[in-house]
């Protein structure tokens, strides 16, 4: 069912990352992100008949996002993906136990 959402996002030309039912859509501006959210919610709820958790759904700057242990940032107009601090701490604990 979410494959239909993937195809719709690709058709609209959005860059996105989805893992199971979690989704991050990358937009060039906050205004565009707000419009994208406003346009996608009816598609998800009315066409796919899925419920969207409005408390978790938000438009934010990409530096504030942690997704699947990855953090996103920007440098020289390029997106940088790095391991989030939680993942680093977990790896450090595993090393300390060995």
**Average pLDDT over all residues of the chain:** 84
Per residue in 69-79, pLDDT (tens digit) is 777 777 787 77
Question: Is the four-CA dihedral 5, 59, 80, 86 of positive or negative sign?
Answer: negative
Q: Please report the pLDDT score of residue 84 as a whole number.
A: 65
Work out the average pLDDT over 56-63: 80
Beta strand 66-67 with 78-83 is unpaired
On the question of pLDDT at 98 being above 70, the answer is: no
Helices (H), the chain: 2-12, 30-42, 85-97
pTM of structure: 0.69
Taking the C-alpha atoms of residue 37 and residue 30, their distance in angstroms, rounded to an integer, is 10
**82: nearest Cα among 66, 97, 95:** 66
- Region 79-91 average pLDDT: 74
């Amino acid at each position: 069912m979410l494959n239909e959402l993937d195809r719709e996002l690709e058709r609209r030309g959005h860059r996105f990352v989805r893992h199971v039912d979690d989704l991050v859509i990358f937009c060039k501006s906050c205004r565009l992100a707000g419009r994208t959210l406003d346009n996608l919610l009816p598609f998800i709820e009315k066409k796919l008949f899925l419920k969207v958790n409005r408390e978790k759904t938000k438009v934010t700057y990409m530096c504030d996002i942690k997704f699947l242990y990855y953090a996103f940032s920007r440098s020289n107009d390029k997106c940088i993906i790095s391991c989030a601090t939680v993942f680093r701490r977990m790896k450090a604990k595993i090393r300390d136990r060995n």
